[in-house]
Amino acid sequence: MSSNIEIIRVCEQCKKEFIARTTVTKYCSMACTKKVYRSRQKSIKINASNKETFLKVNKIKEPVKDRDFLTVRQASLLLNMSPKTIYRLIERNDINSFNFSERKTTIRRKDIDFYFDVNLKILEKNKIDLMTDYNLEN
Ligand SMILES: [Zn+2]
């Protein structure tokens, strides 16, 4: 937002004084803004790469709960259900999934969360305890 105000500030990138037109301006020019953006993107990439290397070197697998995409097996671990139950939920279209190939079914974490959000609401209405429901199934 531009205005008639003129504030003397110091650019957070090149440390030079400049006249800002808003109270939130941090950089003197588009060039400085771009420089900051690029170095931020770079450090995001470096951090991601370092994390990947760390996990690989230490043979650590990313915890299932932190993954955005899950295999049926991972989803079953996360939900403490058998893979068979997961396949049944997928078959009934209770949980969305995507088949990259016949043997590679992928489930989005947010679809699992969505499944619970919807079902918890229904269960709340019917006053049925979710855990009892699944214990009966096993
Ligand atoms: Zn600058």
Same domain, 78 and 23: no
Question: Whole-model pTM?
Answer: 0.44
Q: What ranges in the chain are assigned the alpha helix state H?
A: 30-57, 72-79, 83-91, 109-126, 130-137
In CATH, what number is assigned to the domain containing residue 111?
Answer: 1.10.10
Residue where one domain finishes, among candidates 41, 57, 73? 57
Distance, CA 43 to ligand 1 centroid (Å)?
20
- The protein residues having their C-beta less than 5 angstroms from ligand 1 (an ion) are 11, 13-14, 28, 32
More confident site: 134 or 80: 80
10 with 17: CB under 8 angstroms? Answer: yes
Distance, CA 45 to ligand 1 centroid (Å)?
24
Distance, CA 29 to ligand 1 centroid (Å)?
6
What letter does residue 100 receive in the DSSP assignment? E
Same domain, 48 and 14: yes
Distance, CA 9 to ligand 1 centroid (Å)?
10
Q: What is the pLDDT of residue 1?
A: 53
Distance, CA 24 to ligand 1 centroid (Å)?
14
Look at residue 115 and tell me if it is in a domain. Answer: yes
Look at residue 2 and tell me if it is in a domain. Answer: no
Distance, CA 37 to ligand 1 centroid (Å)?
13
Same domain, 82 and 106: yes
Q: What percent of the chain has pLDDT over 70?
A: 86
Structurally, the chain folds into a number of domains equal to: 2
Residue where one domain finishes, among candidates 57, 78, 97? 57
Same domain, 53 and 80: no
Same domain, 34 and 78: no
**pLDDT band at residue 137, thresholds of 50, 70 and 90?**
very low
Look at residue 112 and tell me if it is in a domain. Answer: yes
Token pair listed for 118: 């919807």
- Owning domain of residue 15: 7-57
Q: What is the pLDDT of residue 31?
A: 96
Token pair listed for 110: 């947010």
Look at residue 1 and tell me if it is in a domain. Answer: no
Look at residue 90 and tell me if it is in a domain. Answer: yes
More confident site: 63 or 1: 63
Look at residue 49 and tell me if it is in a domain. Answer: yes
pLDDT over threshold 60, residue 23: yes
Look at residue 71 and tell me if it is in a domain. Answer: yes
